[in-house]
Amino acid sequence: MAGIALVGIQWGDEGKGKITDLLCEKVDVVVRYQGGNNAGHTVVVGEERYALHLLPTGILYEHCTPVIGPGVVVNPRVLIEEMDALSERGLSTERLRLSGNAHLIMPYHLELDMVTERRLGKNRLGTTKRGIGPAYADKAARIGLRAQDLLDPKIFSEKLEIALKEKNLLLTRVYGRLPLEHQDIVEEYLAYGTRLAPHIVDTNSLVQGALDSGRSVLFEGAQATMLDLDHGTYPFVTSSNPIAGGACAGAGVGPRDITRIIGISKAYCTRVGSGPFPSEADPADGEILVEAGGEYGTTTGRKRRCGWFDAVAARYACRLNTLTELVITKLDVLSAFEKIKVCVAYEFEGDRYEDFPPNQTIFNKCRPVYEEFAGWSEDITGARDLDDLPKEARAFLEGIEAMVSTTISHASVGPEREQILKVHEAGA
Ligand code: GDP
Ligand code: IMO
Ligand code: MG
């Protein structure tokens, strides 16, 4: 039995797609356990580039069963479009399994995501506008519709009627929008149901069965620790639990099913959307990181905010996820700097915080305390072994490893599959 969880430890876009892809070669089942199509996971294979939003990365491998677990919120239109796009590129999506318990993103969720952001004005969260928050809100309020409802027209219609009554009042009376038609949604969604029916199963028993028979299962986290609804920088978070602990609830397994937990972090840090970001770089350095790192969102195309590696937040995330190893990506991007900063503590009203502060006011207003590392300036994209790296790059990795007390197993030096090198034996 081998359950492996892979999680982002920053604010997303750490390169989870690339590392998941590498692991897929050796796993049998890949499960998405939270989030929805707010995710954008990039996989580069030779000339081919895939941007996966809802489909687990295992979809790219014929030997893998890709699973969308009960903790995911699914926009069926987007799912079908993504499946069709891969089919057009010659990949089979037949193996996809979708949990009947996964909640559906409905047309009113998309509208509500848009109008609530508009109403918040300068206080907006900067969501991906994919309806994620409103869908999870309905799940918690117990008025959500689930994938299995698509298979029962009567139930679907009844549940929709209950939900839509309230949503239409909200949309028309509070936001001045037009009401949505019950019949239109029924027709649209039942057609999706017909298409998705062969994929909708009890994924819990599938995943548990795989583990019980000794096959390996990879739990592919989307978003990241600092965007976690309970443990991130609330309210500037997403509405699910991307942390490793979330994999149990979101995929239907127990804590003892996961034995290896891999955290992914960039060698620097980025964030899309609003919210505090203590180690955000000054505009000049930020621009260099944007350009050198190609820091534009995979899902929304937005320019990512860029900053330096935040060791305080990383320490917090390593502990919270009980990482067994850390993978550092985009080390190659730091070749653009003579000096590299790392945020080692926060300062607020004369106090120094080396641990993640318990109060959001401190995190919002703190100043970063930086330690500087010497840069290396040479191109490292061809490095395949730790010894191929300049000594300054090795010192940087060692410095980070000591700060977060977690073994760095690999460093990635480019977007391509083979652009990776082993740093230390995990668990060493
Ligand atoms: P994810 O959401 O965590 O899967 O990350 P994204 O795919 O949204 O963003 C990561 C971006 O960095 C993608 O464009 C990747 O192709 C790219 N990438 C991944 N690893 C590396 C690396 O080591 N170096 C460079 N230069 N790019 C990388
Ligand atoms: P991957 O899996 C980066 C951010 C949004 C916004 C906040 C809430 O590619 O790392 P939401 O639409 O989820 O309600 O938006 O979360 N966000 C991400 N940022 N990477 C992601 O996914 C993200 N998914 C959501 O920008 O700040
Ligand atoms: Mg992404």
Q: Which residues pair with residue 146 across a beta bridge?
A: 103
- pLDDT score of 46: 86
- Would you name the residues annotated as active-site residues? 13, 41
Give the residue among 178, 426, 200 at the shortest CA–CA distance from 323. 426
Domain with CATH 3.40.440.10 in the chain: 2-100+199-257
Would you tell me how many other CB atoms lie within 10 Å of the CB of residue 349? 8
- pLDDT tens digit string along 267-295? 999 999 899 999 999 999 999 999 999 99
Specify the ligand 1 atom closest to the Cα of 292. 26
Q: What is the CATH number of domain 103-196?
A: 1.10.300.10
Specify the ligand 1 atom closest to the Cα of 297. 8
Phi, psi at residue 359, to the nearest 5°? -120, 130
Domain with CATH 3.90.170.10 in the chain: 267-422
Residue linked to tokens 């350009």: 291
What is the percent of the chain with per-residue pLDDT over 90, rounded to a whole number?
96
- Residue 247 tokens read as 């994999």
- pLDDT tens digit string along 143-172? 999 999 999 999 999 999 999 999 999 999
Per-residue pLDDT for 345 more than 80?
Answer: yes
Q: Which residues pair with residue 218 across a beta bridge?
A: 4, 30
Per-residue pLDDT for 1 more than 60?
Answer: no
- pLDDT score of 28: 98
- Alpha-carbon distance of 144 to 164, in angstroms, equals 11
Residue nearest to atom 20 of ligand 2 (CA): 12
Specify the ligand 1 atom closest to the Cα of 39. 2
Per-residue pLDDT for 309 more than 60?
Answer: yes
- pLDDT score of 427: 61
Give the pairing type, strands 97-99 and 65-68.
parallel
- Domain 267-422, CATH number (from 3.90.170.10, 3.90.79.10, 3.40.50.2300, 2.40.50.100): 3.90.170.10
My answer on whether omega of the bond before 198 falls inside 30° of 0, hence cis, is: no
Residue linked to tokens 């090795």: 394
pLDDT band at 45, cuts 50/70/90?
Answer: confident
Give 240 Cα–ligand 2 centroid separation in angstroms: 10
* CATH superfamily name and code, 2-100+199-257: Adenylosuccinate Synthetase, subunit A, domain 1 (3.40.440.10)
Domain with CATH 1.10.300.10 in the chain: 103-196
pLDDT band at 54, cuts 50/70/90?
Answer: very high
- Alpha-carbon distance of 248 to 125, in angstroms, equals 27
Per-residue pLDDT for 256 more than 70?
Answer: yes
- pLDDT tens digit string along 363-418? 999 999 999 999 998 999 999 999 999 999 999 999 999 999 999 999 999 999 99
Per-residue pLDDT for 310 more than 90?
Answer: yes
- pLDDT tens digit string along 118-143? 999 999 999 999 999 999 999 999 99
Q: Which residues of 166-204 are buried (b: 16+ CB within 10 A; e: fewer)?
A: ebbebbeeeeebeebeeeebbeebbebbeebeebbeebb
- On average, the pLDDT of the chain sits at 96
Instruction: Name the maximum alpha-carbon separation found in the chain.
Output: 66
- pLDDT tens digit string along 202-221? 999 999 999 999 999 999 99
Give 53 Cα–ligand 2 centroid separation in angstroms: 11
* Helix orientation angle between 132-141 and 107-120, rounded to the nearest 10 degrees: 110
Residues with CB under 6 A from ligand 2: 8, 11-13, 38-41, 125-128, 130, 132-133, 222-224, 227, 238-239, 272-273, 298
Ligand with the closest atom to the CA of 51: 1
What is the percent of the chain with per-residue pLDDT over 70, rounded to a whole number?
99
